[in-house]
């Protein structure tokens, strides 16, 4: 007969063990990247905690594996503070920068300056353009220019 402990803690499947190993690796890379960012910016843990609205003990725990599952909001705040992506914060290679003359780069710049309602409209235009097999049409570019309050290029 199975004991109560066997029923509440079933054996881990190989997939579960692989996921646990992958998460542990990601956490270790996060901690190393976080530590390097903190040191390279010359910030104390206390100063960073104050800048991010965290308790100093929270930063200490993040750096020492005592918070093995940081919340997305925590990762976003840290990534934004250091101007890196969440992927970079987790130890992934940085994304290649966009060519500043490409239409994607121009649209990113336009979107960053928009209010949220206009940005949502722009996202819809981008989705429409993404399904088009050709380069963006003049109509799409003009729509984006109108949304941003800028003249079309």
* 2 C-beta neighbours (distance < 10 Å), count: 7
- The per-residue pLDDT for range 123-145, each reduced to its tens digit, is 677 666 666 666 666 666 666 66
Percent of the chain at pLDDT > 70 equals 60
- SS percent in the chain: helix, strand, coil, step 5: 65, 0, 35
Mean pLDDT in the chain? 77
pTM of structure: 0.55
Look at residue 117 and tell me whether its pLDDT is greater than 90: no
What three-state secondary structure class fits 93?
A: coil
- What's the gap between Cα 128 and its chain centre? 24
What domains sit in the chain, N to C, each tagged with a CATH number? 14-89 (1.10.260.40), 103-148 (no CATH)
């Amino acid at each position: 007969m199975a004991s109560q402990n066997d029923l509440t803690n079933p054996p881990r499947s190989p997939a579960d063990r692989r996921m646990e190993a992958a998460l542990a690796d990601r956490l270790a890379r996060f901690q190393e990247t976080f530590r390097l960012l903190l040191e390279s910016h010359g910030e104390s843990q206390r100063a960073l905690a104050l800048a991010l609205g965290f308790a100093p003990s929270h930063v200490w725990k993040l750096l020492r594996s005592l918070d093995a599952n940081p919340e997305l909001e925590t990762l976003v705040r840290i990534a934004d503070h250091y101007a890196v992506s969440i992927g970079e914060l987790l130890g992934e290679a940085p994304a290649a920068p966009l060519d500043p003359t490409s239409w994607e780069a121009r649209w990113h710049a336009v979107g960053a300056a928009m209010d949220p309602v206009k940005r949502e409209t722009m996202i819809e235009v981008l989705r429409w353009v993404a399904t088009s097999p050709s380069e963006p049409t003049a109509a799409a570019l003009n729509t984006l220019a109108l949304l941003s309050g800028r003249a079309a290029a």
